[in-house]
Amino acid sequence: MYKVMIVDDEYYIRLDIRAMLDWESLGFRLTEDAVNGEDALAKLEKERPDIILLDIGMPGMGGIELLSQLRQREFAGWTLVLSCHDEFDYVKDALLLGAQNYLLKHKLEPKMLEETLLKMVEHLEGERRHSEQVIRWQSIAALSLQEQRKQFIRQLVHGAYSTSGAVLGRMKQLELGFPVRQLIVLLAKLHPGMMLQPEIGFRKSHAQNEQIAEAVNREALTPETGFCFAENEEELVLVIGFDPAPGFLHIQSLLYDLVNRVQGFVRQRFDIDMSIGVSNGNSSPAQLPESCRQARSALEGVYYLGKNRIISFSEVSDYTAKPEKSFREYEQALLRELANDSRIAAIINDMYAALVEQKVALAEARAFTFEFVSFLKKQQREHGITDSELFEAGHSPYEAVGRTETVEETQAYLIRVTIRLSELISIASKQKYRPEIANAIRYMKEHFSDELSLDTVAANVGMNATYFSNLFKKETGQNFVAFLQRIRMENAKTLLRTTHDKVYDVASQVGIDNYHYFCKTFKQVTGMTPLQYRSKARQ
């Protein structure tokens, strides 16, 4: 509905105009009338008319002055002037001030008014369509050409386009000239270089990932060869187009030359290595989602084949087997060796060598590893060992193995934890304390980061503080404070080895708020400062 306001000082004229047409059937809705220019301006904000039927001669603010006010306020509607005057000066002034049409009252008939209003509506709709188009153009222009390209390629690989015609049309608009008769998708996983590398297997976010993608587009690709965008914080997607005419071997040569250039450029510029999964070629943009899946499967081959490699889908497409031996078949061998850690590494290496040789599917290998972790957790519970004693600080063991990126990283983590488990079981077997003292030690290991006092621990095990202190020293050979500091220093060593936390943060995490006291105690226990220990542990 288009809203129409009648502005006239004569009541019977306003009634006559209202009765002249079936307004609603024509697509109009009459607003509240106004009796002069001031009244119209007062009601303008509330009523927001699209068309004003305006008398020129009115007491107070007349039609000509109202037109001037409407022009100053940038009124977006149209104005139809109605007057008893046919002098040229009135017509000229009204039209100069923005009136779109002019009708004489004494000649006004329903059909004439209807036709005039409908023509005004046609113009209004045209203006609105033009305005909407301008807004769309402005919105499109607000996105840079490169942003539009990124959005388009992302939609393309995720299946938003199903016909080549639509793809080619959009590519032409975006000035992307790479061929679509032979398309290959590359999925690149970023690995920080040595200067940025955190502890093995734990991922690091890259705020510069978008910057890397843009640099690849600028330095290694052109709109005639392909496009790169950041899929997430760790992965880049590259869509590369080739002309299939030269043949398969020629395309492979061009592809691997391009990929090596991208790897070298990113390593040199950003100190970041990358592993790249390569799909098979396809001849239709509609097949790009399948190519993306192939590239991801190829990238998963990093787990078996290693990082910083270029891996094609054909190299890993047969990694689909289940393990010939389940983890449970290895449990007894591991249990036998927990008392003798010299064979642990060999057993674990043999287990994972078998998975590689059998080309076990990655999901099956992960499930196998989770069973291994469950075994370790079971042994931990049975021997009363705490998480902080056994596992590397800050990560659950399931999270830790889930984040390992290669079979070597998985093996290294499991070997470290299993040997540590063996050591802790050995220590526990030599230290048979009375139940009260064993419970006290367990409580201290679980709450070492709190403000522990002898009174607190004694109360926890239901003993008198003095009696507990004497009994504790008799059982352990150390007084309460020395034993607690040993627990805290062991946990501090773990944090220093496995995290990048500041030394004062490590001190706080093990229950010592005084930084200098922590450093002094740590050196007394280990013979090194915390920083010296961290440096040596990571060599």
Query: What does each of the 539 residues of the chain score in pLDDT, given as a tens digit?
Result: 899 999 999 898 899 999 999 999 999 999 999 999 999 999 998 999 999 998 888 899 988 888 889 888 888 888 988 877 555 555 556 566 556 777 877 778 899 899 889 988 888 888 888 777 777 776 665 457 888 899 999 999 998 887 778 888 999 999 999 998 889 999 999 986 533 334 433 344 446 788 999 999 998 999 999 999 999 888 999 999 988 766 778 888 888 899 999 998 898 888 889 999 999 998 888 889 999 999 999 999 999 999 999 999 999 999 999 999 988 888 878 887 776 667 888 999 999 999 999 999 999 999 999 999 999 998 888 777 888 788 866 568 888 898 899 999 999 999 999 998 888 887 766 667 788 888 898 899 889 999 899 999 999 999 999 999 999 998 888 899 999 998 999 889 888 877 888 999 999 999 999 999 999 999 988 889 999 988 887 66
| Encoded amino acid at 86, one letter | D
> What's the pLDDT at 539?
64
Task: Compute the distance between CA of residue 375 and CA of residue 412 in angstroms, rounded to an integer.
Answer: 17
| Encoded amino acid at 40, one letter | A
Nearest Cα neighbor of 374 from 429, 417, 409, 426 is: 417
Task: Compute the distance between CA of residue 479 and CA of residue 448 in angstroms, rounded to an integer.
Answer: 16
Is residue 476 classed as helix, strand or coil in its secondary structure? helix
User: Within 10 Å of residue 404's Cβ, how many Cβ atoms?
Assistant: 20
Q: Which CATH class is domain 2-138?
A: alpha beta
| CATH number belonging to domain 435-537 | 1.10.10.60
| CATH number belonging to domain 146-316 | 3.30.70.270
Task: Compute the distance between CA of residue 126 and CA of residue 371 in angstroms, rounded to an integer.
Answer: 69
Dump strand ranges (E) for 159-214: 182-192
> What's the pLDDT at 195?
35
**What are residue 214's phi and psi, to 5 degrees?**
-65, -40
Tokens standing for residue 276: 């790249």
Tokens standing for residue 16: 């006559």
User: Within 10 Å of residue 300's Cβ, how many Cβ atoms?
Assistant: 20
Task: Compute the distance between CA of residue 413 and CA of residue 418 in angstroms, rounded to an integer.
Answer: 9
pTM over 0.75: no
Nearest Cα neighbor of 289 from 190, 362, 187, 212 is: 187
Tokens standing for residue 470: 């004497």
CA 505 → CA 89, 388, 509, 529, distances in Å?
A: 86, 16, 6, 15
Task: Compute the distance between CA of residue 33 and CA of residue 5 in angstroms, rounded to an integer.
Answer: 6
Task: Compute the distance between CA of residue 296 and CA of residue 326 in angstroms, rounded to an integer.
Answer: 27
If residue 29 lies in a helix (H) or strand (E), which one and from where to where? strand 28-30
> What's the pLDDT at 225?
93
Nearest Cα neighbor of 30 from 16, 49, 46 is: 49
Is residue 240 classed as helix, strand or coil in its secondary structure? strand
CA 451 → CA 436, 483, 522, distances in Å?
A: 21, 15, 18
User: Within 10 Å of residue 368's Cβ, how many Cβ atoms?
Assistant: 20
